[in-house]
Amino acid sequence: MTDKLIIFDTTLRDGEQSPGASMTRDEKLRIARQLERLKVDIIEAGFAASSNGDFECVKAISEAIKDATVCSLARANDRDISRAAEALKPAKSGRLHLFLATSALHMEKKLRMTPDQVFEQAKSSVRFARNLMDDIEFSPEDGYRSDPDFLCRVLEAVIKEGATTINVPDTVGYAIPELYGNFLKNLRERIPNSDKAVWSVHCHNDLGMAVANSLAGVMIGGARQVECTINGLGERAGNCSLEEVVMAIKTRKDYFGLELGIETKHILATSRMVSQTTGFVVQPNKAVVGANAFAHASGIHQDGVLKARDTYEIMRAEDVGWSANKIVLGKLSGRNAFKQRLQDLGVVMESEADINSAFARFKELADRKSEIFDEDILALVSSETVAQ
Ligand code: KIV
Ligand code: ZN
């Protein structure tokens, strides 16, 4: 039996909560279709009750998507849940995602409810949702900062009412990998009916640990669903980044031992689509999808990858949609990389002495210019080349 990790993409819901990232219906539809191509398991399309516009987005995505489950977020009340169920009606496979805060801080200051009131509302909302749909996810918001005894009580009750996925949000990105993993493990061990639900992680990136926390939730905590967004888009410092978590699971299958349904070759195109749509630029050194993620500038590294790519590459650029890795010629490049580029450009030199003299001129130029382009090299060698 395979042990599969479910990828729940929330770019169109939690990602869109990033200030300045709001998307039109058509933009969301286009991204949803791309997420379907990427073969994510679940697309959280929006928060149907939050506005008429979001309702229409969830509905349109429910109509269009056939190969992924479409999900809508809803607060744990009858109105929100009914609205979400209505928007999801056309979906081939739909999920209601209910959330209610359980930390003492949120219950007292934000909800102004007692723990007993929250407990009752969590139960009754799942019961209500279960009459409308089979696939129900429950998220205790600010779950990681909640009292574990209270959380166990709530989660056991909502599973009894029929919640099929239990998501444990680190809403404010406060977790540390080992602690978060053990927090989940402890909940799963203490809740008698915990194996009746799939456990899920939802980590924010305020301390830059969303991906690490999610992976710890999987490995230590036994979660089998990860909630994430393309490019890590999301409120404040963002959410767990899909491309990073997916490539970690794939590249270190020796450690995780988990299957994924993701077509990784579509990762780069999806990242670019989200970046262009939202105007959120991807930093060059961003893992997997940044412009430099597969670029080599140092001479020693260039020489290494020209001899054997795995000397300095742990994954293939082509596996995530790049056409190739990139050797950036500049002042740190060695003769071997320079010679290889001449060959790639179809430049034939008569003698090793010619190559040496061209290489010396290249080094001089590289001291003045941070990146040397193919046109620079062609100009540099024009006097002693034989075109092929
Ligand atoms: O961060 C969070 O707590 C959420 C929930 C609504 C799942 O996004
Ligand atoms: Zn969130």
Residue 1 has pLDDT above 60, yes or no: no
Chain segment 135-176, per-residue pLDDT in tens: 999 999 999 999 999 999 999 999 999 999 999 999 999 999
Q: How far apart are the first and last CA of the chain?
A: 55
Buried b (16+ CB within 10 A) or exposed e, 143-165: bbbbeeebbbbbbbbbbebbbbb
ipTM passes above 0.95: yes
**What is the DSSP code string of 81-135?**
HHHHHHHHTT-SSEEEEEEEE-SHHIIIIII---HHHHHHHHHHHHHHHHTT-S-
List 7's β-bridge partners, or say none.
Answer: 226
**Å from CA of 193 to ligand 1 middle:** 23
- The rounded distance, in Å, linking the Cα atoms of 101 and 111 is 8
Residue with CA at minimum distance from ligand 1 atom 1: 171
% of the chain beyond a pLDDT of 70: 98
Chain segment 76-109, per-residue pLDDT in tens: 999 999 999 999 999 999 999 999 999 999 999 9
Ligand 1 pocket check: which of 77, 136, 138, 141 to mutate, most ligand atoms within 8 Å of Cβ? 141
* Residue range 357-379, pLDDT digits in tens: 999 999 999 999 988 999 999 99
Which of 336, 327, 309 shows the shortest CA–CA distance to 373?
327
Q: Fill in the DSSP letter of residue 161.
A: H
Per-residue pLDDT at 387: 47
Residue-wise pLDDT tens digits, 123-145: 999 999 999 999 999 999 999 99
- What are 274-313's pLDDT values in tens digits? 999 999 999 999 999 999 999 998 999 999 999 999 999 9
What tokens does 106 get?
Answer: 């949120």
More confident residue, 170 or 382: 170
Q: Do residues 240 and 210 lie in contact, with contact meaning Cβ atoms separated by under 8 Å? A: yes
What does DSSP assign to residue 259?
B
Q: Which one of the ligands is nearest to 232 CA?
A: 2
Rg (the chain; Cα; Å):
25
Nearest in space to 289 (alpha carbons), one of 307, 305, 276, 306: 276
Kindly tell me if the per-residue pLDDT of 383 is higher than 70.
Answer: no
Distance, in Å, from the CA atom of 370 to the CA atom of 360, rounded to the nearest integer, reads: 16
Residues flanking ligand 1, CB < 6 Å: 14, 73, 99, 139, 141, 167, 169, 171, 202, 204
Instruction: Determine the pLDDT at residue 350.
Output: 79
pLDDT for residue 385 is more than 60 = no
Give me the torsion for CA of 205, 211, 212, 214, rounded to 10°. Answer: 100
- Tens of pLDDT, residues 213-249: 999 999 999 999 999 999 999 999 999 999 999 999 9
The confidence band for 388, taking pLDDT boundaries of 50, 70 and 90, is: very low
Q: Select from 125, 171, 240 the residue to mutate for testing ligand 1; criterion: most ligand atoms less than 8 Å from CB.
A: 171
